[in-house]
Amino acid sequence: MKTGMLYRSFPGKDDKLSVLGFGCMRLPLRSHKGKDIDIELSQAMVRHAIDRGVNYIDTAWPYHGGESEKFLAGALSDGYRERVRLATKLPSWMIKKHEDMDRILGKQLEKLNTDYIDYYLIHALNQTHWDNLRKAGLFEFIDRALADGKIRHIGFSFHDKLPLFKEIIDAYSWEFCQIQYNFLDVDHQAGREGLAYAYDRGVGIIVMEPLRGGSFTKTVPDAVKDVWNSAPVSRTPAEWGLRWVWNDPRVTVVLSGMSAMDQVEENLRIAEDAHPGALSDEELAIVDRVRRIYKERIRVDCTACGYCMPCPHGVDIPLAFRFYNEAFIFDDIQGKKADYARFGSDSGADLCIACGECEPQCPQQIPIISELERVRELFYD
């Protein structure tokens, strides 16, 4: 039975957050330019979500070419700012010295037209950014910003391997973290082990990419459709994916980067019945079957361990195999070709000269040179 928006709290905290968070990274555009936000439609979507109970709104410095934070200043006017917990992020890659952190936070407060950020994250932590930020005095900056009331809660988002995630969790009194997690990525980056590690230490969990950037819904392989259709209850792929994440009571907020009003409506509908532990054993088995189908479609058994890196000629080998695999996993060669052109433009497989330095380092014994040639054939020809 529908009960309206559901709310959960971080471990040991009283603040009630909507289980559905509105991510402002994929707002509808007036054109194909990444920063040309359709202000009228986007504002209507955000306010409609808030009117229906969403109270966690997430943005970041780089979203939509730096325009997302400015957009939210307008969308959250007319009393909407007071109804939400606003989250944005410190762009970790832009920090060169300690003063940069205060300067950027000040600019974000100005862009968002607010005196404080409810939930502030250190954005996209990886080994390089983490080492640099610690040297620049990250913890001193956080302590000062909290004491000054410029931020109210502190966390981080993560994009690296599990051992680093655990190191970061143990390095500071974080209140929450944001990780990529979905029914396919249970062992990716922080994964389920990292989720448990953080939660057991009192760190709240916010999940990003619950639908793999929409990949679970854009092009669904026939074999996957057959499994979904065999389920005892009829659900869309989006509903299966979101419900699987919300089924875990340790997850507080699931972020969705919505880009159309019908997506807002569907996600609201799902969120209003997203109780933890609601999926039956039979339903969980259905999701497991779908996971196996997706994994069977993987062409290169790369675990992104990074032992092959750095490539002396600049190839990001794990990234190349990631997009190559996803092209077949999701039956989306053209889409992943476009993604690879965007994210791998400076480190593509076309840079490989077959020097062979990578192959002896690979624990999976992948014939990297010949596989990179297949990546080139698929994405460059």
Rounded to an integer, the average pLDDT of 97-115 is 98
Percent of the residues in the chain that have a pLDDT greater than 90, as a whole number: 88
Residue 187 has pLDDT above 80, yes or no: yes
Residue 35 has pLDDT above 80, yes or no: no
Task: Kindly state whether residues 28 and 176 are assigned to the same domain.
Answer: yes
CA distances from 380 to 77, 271, 336, 338, 376 (A): 46, 41, 12, 11, 5
Sign of the alpha-carbon torsion through 129, 301, 184, 338: positive
Closest CA to 20 of 272, 200, 241: 272
Task: Kindly state whether residues 346 and 284 are assigned to the same domain.
Answer: no
What pLDDT was estimated at residue 136?
98
Domain with 230 in it:
7-288
What pLDDT was estimated at residue 32?
62
Task: Kindly state whether residues 336 and 283 are assigned to the same domain.
Answer: no
Q: Which residues contact 48 (CB under 8 A, 6 or more apart)?
A: 261, 264
Mapped onto helix, strand or coil, the DSSP state of residue 150 is coil
Confidence of residue 376 (pLDDT cuts 50, 70, 90): very high
What pLDDT was estimated at residue 301?
85
Task: Kindly state whether residues 156 and 207 are assigned to the same domain.
Answer: yes
Residue 143 has pLDDT above 60, yes or no: yes
What is the residue-averaged pLDDT of the chain?
A: 94
Locus of tokens 């007319």: 78
Task: Kindly state whether residues 115 and 30 are assigned to the same domain.
Answer: yes
Last residue of one domain, picked from the residues 288, 304, 325: 288
Question: Under a CB-based contact definition with an 8 Å cutoff, are residues 120 and 151 in contact?
Answer: yes
246 vs 254: CA distance, rounded Å:
7
Domain containing residue 123: CATH number: 3.20.20.100
50 vs 22: CA distance, rounded Å:
9
Q: Which residues contact 183 (CB under 8 A, 6 or more apart)?
A: 240, 241, 244, 245, 287, 290, 291
Task: Kindly state whether residues 117 and 265 are assigned to the same domain.
Answer: yes
Locus of tokens 């760190």: 203
Task: Kindly state whether residues 239 and 372 are assigned to the same domain.
Answer: no
Question: Under a CB-based contact definition with an 8 Å cutoff, are residues 240 and 6 in contact?
Answer: no
How many structural domains compose the chain? 2
Residue 33 has pLDDT above 80, yes or no: no
What pLDDT was estimated at residue 357?
94
Question: Under a CB-based contact definition with an 8 Å cutoff, are residues 158 and 125 in contact?
Answer: yes
27 vs 179: CA distance, rounded Å:
21
**pTM (2 d.p.):** 0.89
Percent of the residues in the chain that have a pLDDT greater than 70, as a whole number: 98
**197 domain-assigned:** yes
61 vs 67: CA distance, rounded Å:
8
Rounded to an integer, the average pLDDT of 338-359 is 92
Summarize pLDDT for 199-228 with one digit per residue, the tens. Answer: 999 999 999 999 988 889 988 999 999 999
**33 domain-assigned:** yes
Joined tokens for residue 374: 């297949």
What pLDDT was estimated at residue 1?
39
Residue 3 has pLDDT above 60, yes or no: no
**97 domain-assigned:** yes
Mapped onto helix, strand or coil, the DSSP state of residue 256 is strand
CA distances from 71 to 25, 66, 68, 77, 113 (A): 11, 9, 5, 10, 10
Residue 280 has pLDDT above 90, yes or no: yes
